[in-house]
Structure 1
Amino acid sequence: MTKGNYMKRRSMNKMRTVLKGMLFFVILLGLALSQFSAVRASVGDDAQLASAPRYDRTDQLIVKFRDRSIARASRLSHDRVNTLSAVAGVPLTHFRAMSGDAQVLKLPYAMTPAELEVIVARLKADAGVEYAEPDVIVHRMLTPNDTQYLNQWHYYEATGGANLPGAWDITTGSSSIVVAVIDTGLLPHADIDSNILDTTGRVVPGYDFISSTLFANDGDGRDSNPTDPGDWEAAGECGGGLPTVDVNSSWHGTHVAGTIGAIGNNSTGVAGVNWVSKILPVRVLGKCGGYLSDTIDGARWAAGLTVSSVPVVPANANPAKVLNLSLGAPVVCSAATQTAINEILAAGKVVVVAAGNSDMDASGYTPASCTGVISVAATNRSGGRSYYSNYGTVVKIAAPGGAQGYTNDSNGILSTLNTGLTTALADTYRYYQGTSMAAPHVAGVVSLMLSANPTLTVAKVTEKLLGTARAFPSGSDCTTSLCGAGIVNAAVAVLAVSTVPTVNAGPDQNVDPGVAVNLNGSTSSDDGTISSYTWVQTAGAVVTLSGSSTATPSFTAPNDLTGTLFTFRLTAVDDVGLSGTDIVDVTLNNAPPVIASIGDKTVTVGNTLTFTVTATDANGTIPILSAAGVPVGATFTPLTGVFSWPNTDTLGSYTVSFVATDSENAAVTDNKTITITVQNPPPPSSGGGGGCFIATAAYGSYLDPHVKVLRDFRDRRLLTNTAVRLLSASIMPIHRRLRILSASMKPCGPSRGGRLRLWCTALSIRRSFCFFFWRQCSLLRE
């Protein structure tokens, strides 16, 4: 035996001795399903322990204290540990502080579920304990296969593929997006990054969170080197008689990372889902699996959260936006796990996990059953549920995971690997199957969605991812109650979050000043969901938009100059934060001027007629006024609109037209035509005791003073004289004979009228006789 073989055998014997006492392990879900029968062993019964599945026992507990000062302590005092041991009923040892202000404690040996149940119940009953749970062992979820390169049907085939080519037409990834692979670590690979430690390629600095040197297989515990040293296992090395045969290194994290992010279009090997985004390796699984507490710490760190532990873990300079956990254990999501998941989701990170490979309801597995994660079932090449895949209502979506009939069967998922059976040797590619292979398809698609639209929230990613899933093909044994919303549809999912909504602000408009204007915006998006509308005026006199946060606001057009332009921009934002814009112009028409109502005018001869013509223009300009048909002696002033006719001295009707001309366009006018009537004063009601008409005809005129003198002369002198009365009676026959001539008499001149008037008054003839002579006289109008 060589020295090297001797040291190797000695190391393995030491590991067997330590792990022999472990009583609660998590199943290696990638093993043949026949290995999954659970056989509980009695405490200290080595014979039963040898046949017990490794997920059945653990030698660690996770405990969180209510007292924050205790919870956040890097080390628990001996008194505190002794007190807790008394509560538990078994001696406990403080192992380390972990993230989330919890503490990891060692049990005296690996205990069965029955023992753990009793101890955990005792601790939970303690008033100072917030929660307590077993620190179970988690494992990778695949069945390893041999190397063979064929093609990646799982990306493009219509029935069982993920429809990636259409997504690549939109984006192949963004270097600003980081995807965490929380797994066995990562190997350098030419199709991913040939040097994963130089910080210059696709891979950003990761971390090794395995705290147990036995699991780590790299000679130490936690460190800054996430390189996968190999997780090969000798038969029986992991306790409970497992594995039953020697198991080669899986290079599981490298296979998962290749599916997420192998370089595409480089004429080498395979393509990943995302060709550009960064990969963050976080090592939590090693030989025989890994503790849940290490997985929780690793997930928190990957998301950029603070990890309080011993030794101190440096802050993550490259927080991931997407976390892929292709691992699990057959226990319901615990308080410690859910608390970590909640914090990660609150930080805006998407968590994608494998549903499990036990052909069981995923509600009994962690982290698949945790609230808020995207739990992924596996489908085969025909779109049916892979024979091993877990299922149930906690499953959110399905993705290609393959279903192989033999090692390296091309019906599996092809990705990056290494030829080494124990330690790493050379790059290669191999087909694996498992929900571990399905989950990175989804994580990769999520990273493409975020590359196309980095503003997406966790809720919106989930909504669009599930909402665009392809229906299971006819004849599939998958249903939405078993395998989630459907098979991941990369092209449609990426399109749904990257298509800018089409915005139409409506047709340009020409409107009159003063009218109500309605803007008619409309939009369309990938699914018709618009979350907000915003209108902003970008040109023209400021107006008040009513309903500016709707598609169809309105405003009142102001009184402004013809051709005034108002411009409005509509921005619509869809439910994934993408926005589109459009503008619309509103131009003011040339509104015609309007002359205010004037109405016909009537004036008594000799009086003065004055009125004002006004006109307005809705464009805010002052119309130009003019008039036609202005009578002789009258004037019209265009500037003021004042019409004036002093001492109207000509009886008759006069037609006058007023015109308002638009100051911006002389062809645009308004006009009003009125009639001015100049008339005699109204006749007297009676008076004069049958005396001369002149006594009342001129009443109210400028002759009124003379009329009063004559009336006084008539009443006091003439009408009291008998001779005059007889003369008046004798003249009446002549008046009747000549009466017919009155219609043809020409108007009298002022002097003639004056003489006749005086003569008639002096004689005091009857009114009818006076009327014969004065009817046509311009100074004495009836």
Structure 2
Amino acid sequence: MKTMFKSVLIIAFLGIGIAVIGRLFIDSNEQPPYALEKDIPQTLDSRAMDQLLAEDLSITTSMFLDQLSTQLNSWAEQDFSDTQLIEKSQLEIKEHPHINGFIIFDNQNIEQEIGDIINPDFSLLTHTHLKSEFSDPFSKDGKNYMLMGEKLSDNRKILAEVDLSFIQSFVMGMASVADANGSFFVSGDDPTVQWETTNDVPNGFRSQTVPELGWQIVVHSNEHKPEANQKSYIENQVVIKFKDHEKATDWLQEHAELQVVKENLPYYVVSSPNETTEQLLERLQNDFSLAFTEPIYLFNKQGLTKPNDEFFEPYQWNLEQINTSGGWDLSGGNNITIAILDTGVDPNHADLKDKIKTGYNAFDESDDFSDAHGHGTHVAGVAAAMTNNVTGIAGISWNSTILPVKVLNDEGEGSSYDVAKGIYWAVDQGANVINMSLGDYYDSEILYDAIKYAYDRDVVIVVASGNDNVEDPMYPAQYSEVLTVAAVDQNNNRAFFSNYGNHVDISAPGEHIPSLFINNEYTVMSGTSMASPHVAGLAGLVRSLRPDLSNQEVYDVITSSADDLGTKGKDAYYGHGQINIEKALQSISQ
């Protein structure tokens, strides 16, 4: 059993990948820090974190190029004597976010031209990888482009002009990208890292080569420091819960000096403009009418036998490592709803849009669950992306539906109140499984109350352990009602960033995990945020195969069938071991 602490909580998102590298704790200028009695030692190597990010960025770029190559070959195979196919290709070019146009050559004669290419010069294709050829990046009207060519089987060639805006968007100021000549064409906003060439980069910065292009990706993220010695909360506000809800109206009338900021039964957020948060807490914590009173702590981001999805075989090593394909012979996750409590989900992503239920926005209580950050979309894809649809990746519980619950805003920030609201809403909407790739080092009564609400209603709750390489337990990972997930790498070793301790229940792949990204993209991310939805997906498969099992019995199936790693038996680094999807489902098949 996990030890329960009644202290306080900050929640941080647990993603280390493209969009959410490193320690992504909330840092709101509105919220003062709250000092702790002790510091957690800094044991996470920032250089290792930067190297991990550089590798993620490199793999993502390779995936991007693979997509482009597939698209060009698809166009080259079309019969352009059919005017309908020409019109179809013209429409695809207009809709394609990265290709301005293409030209098909036959012995240097133009056979077909679709779209508008700024610089159609084959001589610029000076780099070759397999059957693909590339130019160096060039600039036009403040935007970066490159030419990409494909050698076709009948000696023809297809040449396309590629808009490199995606490269700049996914590095998001965390890295600079140099071409094969060592000249940077993407840099961050910080003037100290706006290098001209790779010769200008000081020692100590981590980089990774994109093999297809010879590009260098140099990471310049902030130093990664565990921030467990601080917490943040919304000033002048507290969240309260009444012992007897029928007395709430009378109590609030008696306390007319308090303003009800938000009301989402059974919780009320009240504020006092003349009192600090600490003064308000001191006054209300001993009020007999209240079940609890606490600050609103801030959260932040911390993430078929053989399907035909394009990235399954070359990139999704993680699914093979946990024996996913064998499990798919027994269950696909039918009739299961997996709630993703996160930054939202991209409602238009091709690998998700047909399986998303109407979601919830905990901030404005609307159904606008759109994701402008990317982390939630990535997590949802790992758990349950569409599978065997040629496009993109394969999701674990591929026939389950996704219930998106936006509890973190577009900067990856939220509060304990918002997450609790999201949990209540997801449970009331019939979620069978909840994934929360979030957590920090402090307990929260409102969070635990919501966790209990979900657990008592037979919901499987899966959470990430954290990315600080420390033993101190995070919340909600510490709660006995949840299944806490640590991360392993491609060699079945503990990921160097993964938190550990007796509260860890299970492990799953968490390094270099390919999945979905906003705007119909795909990226690679690392973190216990990515490990957690592997387990949520397995829970979906288990609940689909055996709907008669309780949530606790689902936990037992997952842990008892795991492949033991590290010290024999349950240990602090791997829990019961790494999930084995095939073994788990075989153990309960009838």
Q: TM-score by structure 1 length?
A: 0.45
2:165 equivalent in structure 1: none
SS in 1 for 2:355: coil
Match of residue 336, structure 2, among 170, 174, 177: 177
1:369 equivalent in structure 2: 478
Query: Do 1:362 and 1:369's aligned partners in 2 also have CA atoms closer than 8 Å?
Result: no
The 1:151–1:35 alpha-carbon spacing in structure 2 relative to 1, beyond 3 Å, is closer
Query: Do 1:362 and 1:394's aligned partners in 2 also have CA atoms closer than 8 Å?
Result: no
Matched, 1:297 2:421: yes
The Cα shift of 1:79 comes to 3.5
Query: Do 1:24 and 1:136's aligned partners in 2 also have CA atoms closer than 8 Å?
Result: no
> How far apart, in 1, do the equivalents of 2:412 and 2:376 lie?
15
SS in 2 for 1:429: strand
The 1:124–1:448 alpha-carbon spacing in structure 2 relative to 1, beyond 3 Å, is same
2:104 equivalent in structure 1: none
SS in 1 for 2:347: coil
Letter in 1 for 2:338: V
2:57 equivalent in structure 1: none
Query: Do 2:561 and 2:579's aligned partners in 1 also have CA atoms closer than 8 Å?
Result: yes
Q: CA RMSD in A?
A: 3.1
Query: Do 1:24 and 1:137's aligned partners in 2 also have CA atoms closer than 8 Å?
Result: no
Cα shift readout 1:187-239 (whole Å, capped 9, x = no counterpart): 13554334xxxxxx3111111112xxxxxxxxxx23112112x2xxxxxxxxx
Letter in 2 for 1:367: P
Higher relative contact order (CA 8 A, sep 6+): 2
2:540 equivalent in structure 1: 447
Give ranges in structure 2 of 5+ residues lacking alignment.
1-26, 51-220, 304-310
Cα shift readout 1:82-124 (whole Å, capped 9, x = no counterpart): 3xxxxxxxxx53211234x22212364997xxx74x6535432
Query: Do 2:30 and 2:234's aligned partners in 1 also have CA atoms closer than 8 Å?
Result: no
Matched, 1:135 2:296: yes
Letter in 2 for 1:179: I
The Cα shift of 1:373 comes to 0.5
Identity of paired residues, percent? 30
1:205 equivalent in structure 2: 358
The 1:39–1:265 alpha-carbon spacing in structure 2 relative to 1, beyond 3 Å, is closer
Matched, 1:20 2:29: yes
2:582 equivalent in structure 1: 491
> How far apart, in 2, do the equivalents of 1:102 and 1:382 lie?
46
1:594 equivalent in structure 2: none
Query: Do 2:469 and 2:496's aligned partners in 1 also have CA atoms closer than 8 Å?
Result: yes
Match of residue 375, structure 2, among 252, 269, 292: 252
Letter in 2 for 1:328: G
Give ranges in structure 1 of 5+ residues lacking alignment.
1-17, 41-52, 83-91, 143-147, 195-200, 211-220, 231-248, 305-315, 403-411, 419-425, 501-782
> How far apart, in 1, do the equivalents of 2:516 and 2:508 lie?
18
Letter in 1 for 2:532: A
2:528 equivalent in structure 1: 435
SS in 2 for 1:352: strand
Match of residue 460, structure 2, among 340, 343, 350: 350
SS in 1 for 2:292: strand
Query: Do 2:228 and 2:440's aligned partners in 1 also have CA atoms closer than 8 Å?
Result: no
> How far apart, in 1, do the equivalents of 2:412 and 2:542 lie?
35
1:335 equivalent in structure 2: 445
1:471 equivalent in structure 2: 564
Q: TM-score by structure 2 length?
A: 0.58
SS in 1 for 2:572: helix
Cα shift readout 1:283-318 (whole Å, capped 9, x = no counterpart): 1101251011111111111111xxxxxxxxxxx3xx
2:514 equivalent in structure 1: 414
Letter in 2 for 1:225: D
Paired residues, what number?
A: 373
> How far apart, in 1, do the equivalents of 2:584 and 2:274 lie?
49
> How far apart, in 2, do the equivalents of 1:282 and 1:271 lie?
22
Match of residue 225, structure 2, among 3, 28, 36: 36
> How far apart, in 1, do the equivalents of 2:389 and 2:380 lie?
17
SS in 2 for 1:494: helix
Letter in 1 for 2:328: W
For residues 48-447 of structure 1, the aligned pairs below 5 Å read: 55-59=231-235, 60-71=237-248, 73=249, 77=252, 79-82=254-257, 93-99=259-265, 101-106=266-271, 108=273, 116=278, 119-142=280-303, 150-156=314-320, 161-174=321-334, 176-194=335-353, 201-210=354-363, 221-228=364-371, 230=372, 249=373, 251-286=374-409, 287-304=411-428, 316=429, 319-332=430-443, 334-363=444-473, 365-402=474-511, 412-418=512-518, 426-447=519-540
The Cα shift of 1:25 comes to 8.6
The 1:96–1:153 alpha-carbon spacing in structure 2 relative to 1, beyond 3 Å, is same
> How far apart, in 1, do the equivalents of 2:352 and 2:324 lie?
22
> How far apart, in 2, do the equivalents of 1:468 and 1:458 lie?
16
Letter in 2 for 1:327: L
> How far apart, in 1, do the equivalents of 2:280 and 2:441 lie?
19
Cα shift readout 1:740-778 (whole Å, capped 9, x = no counterpart): xxxxxxxxxxxxxxxxxxxxxxxxxxxxxxxxxxxxxxx
Letter in 2 for 1:105: V
The 1:429–1:352 alpha-carbon spacing in structure 2 relative to 1, beyond 3 Å, is same
Letter in 2 for 1:435: T
